[in-house]
């Protein structure tokens, strides 16, 4: 499909997600508890997607590859090595803001 309002249903029914390294795509997939292979675009300048993908990989949450190594990654992957992504804690940010602004 070219455009879809939401991928939530697709994510819920997926056994494995292969995605670019956009923050929204990565976090939505990880929060759904699905195994994720992140395919980086090495041609982007100031590649923040590559930084995110590498950090999530170092932390053990995703497998990371390039377009040229995707098939190899699929053939050799061991999804049991992936660690669950911890749930968000938005209240910590709210407390931080309260402190910065002087409400606490």
Q: How confident is the model at residue 84 (pLDDT cuts 50, 70, 90)?
A: very high
Outline where 1-104 has alpha helix (H): 8-13, 23-31, 48-58, 70-76, 90-101
Q: How far apart are CA 96 and CA 20, in angstroms?
A: 31
> Which of 85, 36, 84 is closest to 63 using CA atoms?
36
Percent of the chain past pLDDT 70, that is, above it, reads 96
Task: Please answer whether residues 41 and 49 qualify as being in contact, where contact means their C-beta atoms are separated by less than 8 angstroms.
Answer: yes
Q: How confident is the model at residue 42 (pLDDT cuts 50, 70, 90)?
A: confident
pLDDT value, residue 10? 94
Domains of the chain: residue spans and CATH = 7-101 (3.40.50.2000)
Whether the full predicted model's pTM is greater than 0.75, yes or no, is yes
- How many CB atoms are located within 10 Å of the residue 49 CB? 20
């Amino acid at each position: 499909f070219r455009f879809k309002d939401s991928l939530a249903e697709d994510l819920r029914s997926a056994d494995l997600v292969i995605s670019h390294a956009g923050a929204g795509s990565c976090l939505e997939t990880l929060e759904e508890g699905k195994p994720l292979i992140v395919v980086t675009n090495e041609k982007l300048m100031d590649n923040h997607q590559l930084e995110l993908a590498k950090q999530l990989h170092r932390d053990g949450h995703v497998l990371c590859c390039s377009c040229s190594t995707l098939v190899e990654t699929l053939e050799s992957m061991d999804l049991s090595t992936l660690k669950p992504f911890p749930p968000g804690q938005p209240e910590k940010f709210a407390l931080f803001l309260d402190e910065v602004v002087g409400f606490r």
